[in-house]
Structure 1
Amino acid sequence: MAAGWLSMAGQGLAAPGEFKDCTGRIEEVSSRRPISFADLAGRVGKVDYLLFGERHGVREQAVASSCVLSAMAKDDRPVTVVMEMLSRDDDAAIALYRKNHPETPAGLGAELKWWTRGWPAFDNWLPLVERAFSLRVPLRGGDLAEKDGRTGELTPNEKKAIRKRLGAAETAVRKSWTKAMMAAHCGLISDRQAALNADHQIRRDLSMAGAAEQARALKHGVLLQVGRGHGRKDRSLYHVLAQADASVLTVGAFAEGEKITDEERLLYDYLWIVGKAELADPCKLTGLTSKTGESISR
C-alpha cells in the first residue's frame, strides 16, 4: 500500500488519516461555532455514512470531500465512495479501468464518456477520484442504472418499495422533493410534473442508499458524494440510511457568498464554505419568479 501512496505523490495525495489543503470555513450547526478540519476529522472516523452534499461543479468542494475520505480511512479502515454522478451500471467499467490503469484516475472521465452525461466537467470531481485511487478504496455508482432512469408514473412495486423504505416520513419527503422540483423549473411546470420529478428523485435516492448499504454490509464506512439537495435531512436518502442502526453525518458544502437560510442550516450537521460559483438566480435573470422558497441551484 505504501508504494501506491508514493507512486501517487505527484498528485499530492496522502496516506489514510492524512490530509492537506483542506481549505474553507467549517461550522458545527448545533453550536453555530466554527471548527477546524482536524475537529471534523475526529468525528467522521467511525461514522457509518457521511453524506457530503456539494454544489455541483465546484472543484474545491471535491477537494474538501477528499479530505473527508482520508479522515474516514484512518487506521486502514475500509471505506467505499458512492457518487451520485456515477450510475449503478458504471461499476463494472470503473473496476476494469482501475485494474488496467490503477494510477491514472484522470483517464476515467474519458473511459466513461463523461461529456455525454450532462454533468459539469469531470475535472471538478477529479480531486476526490484521485484520492479514491490513491487510497485504493472502492468507487461505486449510486444513480439509477440506465434502464431504470425513466421519469414517469411509479409502478406498483416502486410505490411499495418507497412506502417500505420511508415509512411515516414518505409524505413529508415527497412534499419536500416536489417543492424542490417546482423551484428547479422556476415554477413553470405543472403540479403533476413536479410530483413525477419528485418521485424520480426519490427513486434515485433509494438507488444511492442501496449502493451504500451494500458497502456497509461489507463493514465499510461509506462516503456519499451527492448534490446538496440529496444530502439534506428532510430528503429520502438520509431517511433511508438513518432508519437502521447506523450513524449518519451530513455536510452541506456551500460556495463563498451563497445565502444560507436558518431553515437550511438545520438540514445538515456541518456547513463547509469553500469555492466560488456563479450565484445569479436564473429565474430572476429570465424575469420569472419561483415562489417555492427554495433556490433552483439546490
Structure 2
Amino acid sequence: MTRVRFAAAAALSLALSSPALATPPLPEAWQSTLNRDNPLVGKIWSVGKQAFVTPEALAGDIASARFVLAGETHDNADHHLRQAWIVSALTEAGRKPAVVFEMISADEAGALKSYLAGTPKNASAMGKALKWKERGWPDWAMYQPIADAALAAGLPMAPGDLSRETVKRFRKEGLGALGKGIAESWGLETPLPAAGQETLKQDLRDGHCGLLPEPAVEAMVPVQRARDASFADGLIANATADGAVLIAGRGHVRGDMAVPWYLRARAPEASIRIVAMVEAEQGQSDPADYLPAPGVYDYLWFTPKAERPDKCEELKARFGKKS
C-alpha cells in the first residue's frame, strides 16, 4: 500500500467504522518497549473495511458477535491489557459472555471452580491457585487484568485446553485419546483444507525453529488440531446467552485452520469476530504485511514489541543437550 492510499484509508476510517459505543478507558502507557515509533502502534485495522477504526467502533462490532476471539503473543503485557479491555467493553455494552482461557486446561477446572466459589474481589491469587508459574506461562500479573475484568462483571471463566494426560495419550491412541465419539463430534475426522494443513505444519516447524524432524511435526498436527477443537468446544459448552470470549495465542484464532474453523463447522449460524493483537515490526508500516493469509483475522490491533530472549537459541541449546 502506498503512503497516499495508507493516509486515505486512515481518513476514511470514521466514515466506514461500525456504530460507536461508550467504552472503558484504554491503558495509559505501553508496557512493551520495542518499535514504539512505528506509525501503526495503537491503531486498529479492520481487515474487511481496509481502514483504521476507533476503539469505539471495534466495541460496537464485537458486541454483536456471539463468539469473540482475542489472539495474543503470550509474553506481551500490552496484548493482555487489550484483551481485558475487550472483556470490559463487552460488559459495558450490556453483554455477559463467558471467558475461556487457552492457558487453563481441564486439569485445573476444579481449582478454578474452587477459587471462584470463594467470591474473590480480585484475581491476585488466581495464578497461584491454578499453578500458573509451575505450568510455564508468563507472569500471572500479565493475565490478571483479564481475570479482574471478568470478576468485576461477574462473568463465568472456564478452561479451554485438553488435560495433560489426554495429550500424553495421543502418542499411542491418536484421536482415540479424546474418548468415544469426541473426535467426530468436534469435527476432527474432517480433514483441514490442504492449505490449512500445510500452514499448520509450517507453524509447528517455525515454532520449533526448524529443529523438529518431519515425523515429529506430523505427530504434532493431530494434537494441535485437537487443542483448537477443544478451545472451540470450551466456547460452545460454556457460552452464556451472550456467548463467549476466547483468550488464546494468535495462531489459535486463525480463521483458516484453527478455532474458528471448528466453530463454523459446529455452530454455522453463530457470528464470530477475531481480534488479533499484533506486535509492530521495525520498518513495516503497511497493515497488509501482518496478514498471513486472506480471511485470517477481522481486526489487527497494533502494539509495541516486547523484549525477549532469542527463543531459537534457547531451543538449540535444549535440543543440543538432549542429543
Q: AA paired with 1:130?
A: D
For 2:273 and 2:150, how far apart are their aligned partners in 1? 20
The reply to whether residue 92 of structure 1 matches residue 114 of structure 2 is no
2:86 to 68, 81, 86: 68
Matched to 1:246, the amino acid is: A
Judge conservation of contact 2:105–2:162 (CA < 8 Å) in 1.
yes
Q: Which residue is 1:272 aligned to? A: 301
Counterpart-to-counterpart distance in 2, 1:157 and 1:101: 35
1:249 pairs with 273, 276, 285, which one? 273
Offset from partner CA, 1:44-89 (integer Å, 9 cap, x none): 1120111111011111111111111122224532210001011123
TM-score, normalised to structure 2, is 0.75
Hey, what's the Cα distance between the residues in 2 that align with 1:125 and 1:26?
Answer: 21
> In 2, are the aligned partners of 1:46 and 1:221 still within 8 Å (CA)?
no
- Which of 253, 277, 282 is the equivalent residue of 1:231? 253
Closer, same or farther in 2 for the Cα pair 1:285/1:211, shift >3 Å?
Answer: closer
Tell me the number of residue pairs that the alignment of Structure 1 and Structure 2 aligns.
272
2:221 matched residue in structure 1: 198
Larger mean CA deviation between 57-66 and 91-100 belongs to 91-100
Select the residue among 25, 29, 34 that pairs with 1:20: 25
SS in 2 for 1:123: helix
Larger Rg: 2
8 Å Cα contact 1:176/1:234 also seen in 2: no
1:30 corresponds to 2:35 = no
Residues 35, 90 of structure 1: alpha-carbon distance in 2 compared, 3 angstrom cutoff: same
Match in the other structure for 2:120: 102
In 2, the alpha carbon distance for the partners of 1:182 and 1:198 equals: 11
1:219 aligns with 2:223: no
Of 196, 210, 221, which residue of structure 1 is paired with 2:233?
A: 210
Contact 2:166–2:177 (8 Å) recurs in 1:
no
For the 8 Å contact 1:59–1:275, the answer to whether it is kept is no
Distance in 1 (CA, whole Å) between partners of 2:315 and 2:162 is 32
**Off by >6 Å, runs of 4+ in structure 1:** 284-287
List runs of 5+ in structure 2 lacking aligned partners: 1-20, 29-41, 317-323
Over aligned residue pairs, what C-alpha RMSD do you find?
Answer: 2.8
What SS is found at the alignment partner of 2:251?
A: coil
| 2:135 counterpart of 1:117 | yes
Matched with 2:10 is none
Q: Matches of 1:263 and 1:26 in 2, distance apart? A: 13
Residues in 2 aligned to 1:275 and 1:229: alpha-carbon distance in whole angstroms: 19
Once structures 1 and 2 are overlaid, which stretch shifts more, 84-93 or 133-142?
A: 84-93
Is the Cα contact below 8 Å between 2:101 and 2:160 reproduced in 1? Answer: yes
* Equivalent position to 1:42, from 56, 60, 71: 60
Q: Distance in 2 between matches of 1:22 and 1:247?
A: 28
Percent of paired sites with the same residue: 26
Deviation at 1:269, TM superposition (A): 0.6
Q: Which residue identity does 1:226 align to in structure 2? A: A
User: Are the counterparts in 2 of residues 44 and 50 from structure 1 also a CA contact under 8 Å?
Assistant: yes
CA contact (8 A) 2:264 2:270 kept: yes
Which residue of structure 1 aligns with residue 163 of structure 2? 145
Contact map agreement 1:45 1:74 (CA 8 A) in 2: no
User: Aligned partner of 1:209: which letter?
Assistant: A
Give the whole-Å Cα distance in 1 for the aligned partners of 2:63 and 2:229. Answer: 25
Change (3 A) 1:286 1:117: closer
Structure 1 length-normalised TM: 0.81
> Following superposition of structure 1 onto structure 2, how do residues 169-208 of structure 1 map, counting pairs within 5 Å?
169=192, 171-208=194-231
Alpha-carbon distance between aligned partners in 2 of 1:20 and 1:162, rounded to the nearest angstrom:
42
